[in-house]
Amino acid sequence: MSSFNPNNIALDNGNLYGLPLDLNTAACVVFPVPWDVTVSYKDGTANAPNIIQQESLQVDLYDLTYQNFWDKGIYFEQPSEIILNKSTIYRNKAIQVLDKMSNGSTIDNDSSLRNEVQEINQACKELMEFVYTETKKFIDQDKKVILLGGDHSTPLGYIKALSEKYQDFGILQIDAHCDLREAYEDFQFSHASVMFNALKLKSVQSLHQVGIRDFCQEELDVVSDSEKKVQIYFDRDIKYQMYAGISWHQICENIVNNLPQFIYLSFDIDGLNPALCPNTGTPVAGGFEVDQIFYLLDMIKKSRKQFIGMDLNEVGNDVWDANVGARVLYRMIGLWLS
């Protein structure tokens, strides 16, 4: 690292941002999970880690906010071809299941459909256990781990691993969706159920969702029954406050004040304006600009509250989405390492 020149052309060495690749000395590990089996709209996010790595070579390393954090070392674990192949296999099975369901079949009246759903649920459970085991190894080495999806189901195993280290933390979720369905389309580990499943973990004491603008009554019922464990900052309410003259700074102050001391950041890129991520799994009109989110995250850092883990997911299978994703990821790393 001491001989690395950040002003030169990026090294195409398989690492992010063309940085030297050294796990032993790296403070941050980016752990990719190429999986998008249960997405309900557009697939392709399983390919995001590979495309983000390539697009990251276009990112200049100087950052006005955090400057030379890269010299603390960033290690990109190579995406598992085994996981990617399984994702392809079970995604094809899931498409067949969804097609049957859209034509009226249910697991109650179709035994073959029930078996197919059970097979997919088992594969997703095994993926969760794989993520748990692999991220725990890095946590035990005192690495700062950022999980890179894949769809939003992917970080559940990582959150589980963190729940064994931290007895009490909250999740800050940047997202267009609540992800609080119990078992969307009968898939227990759906991307639309990840926060429902995370709330089952005893250590997860609160969930703070920012930018929500697409949800169902079932999810609102979960929020109502949570006894204020789940707090939602709806995209509509945020925009209406700003239109009425309340500043984004004031809104961020309110969010930060309600957060606990230890925070897990879950960043679904569809929380942004879909012009920035048009090929994300489930784009929704509305959303934030990148700098709005990082203004919020910078305020959290200044408050001296502590991030304990992060994920970035749902980046689309396209070079523009990956370009945005690579830059968002870089800012997330800088926020945590600085």
Quickly state the pLDDT bin for 185 (edges 50, 70, 90): confident
Tokens of 102: 């859209």
Return d(Cα 319, Cα 48) in angstroms, integer.
9
pLDDT of residue 60: 95
Give the pTM: 0.97
Whether pLDDT at 2 is above 80: no
Give the per-residue pLDDT at 231: 98
241: Cβ contacts below 8 Å, ≥ 6 apart: 251
For residues 210 and 172, the answer to whether their CB atoms sit within 8 Å is: yes
Average pLDDT, the chain: 96
Give per-residue pLDDT as tens, 316-327: 999 999 999 999
CA atoms of 267 and 247, how far apart (whole Å): 23
Distance CA 201, CA 298 (A): 27
Which residue segments constitute the domains of the chain, with CATH numbers given?
28-337 (3.40.800.10)
Question: What is the per-residue pLDDT for 303?
Answer: 98
Residue of higher predicted confidence among 259 and 185: 259
- 158 contacts 311 by C-beta, under 8 angstroms: yes
Per-residue pLDDT of 72-92, as tens digits, reads 999 999 999 999 999 999 999
**Size of the chain in residues:** 338
pLDDT tens readout for residues 118-150: 999 999 999 999 999 999 999 999 999 999 999
Amino acid at 122: Q
The DSSP H or E segment spanning 29 is strand 28-33
Sign of CA dihedral 275, 212, 187, 166: positive
* Predicted pLDDT of residue 11: 85
Average pLDDT on 36-56 reads: 95
pLDDT 10s digits, 61-71: 999 999 889 99
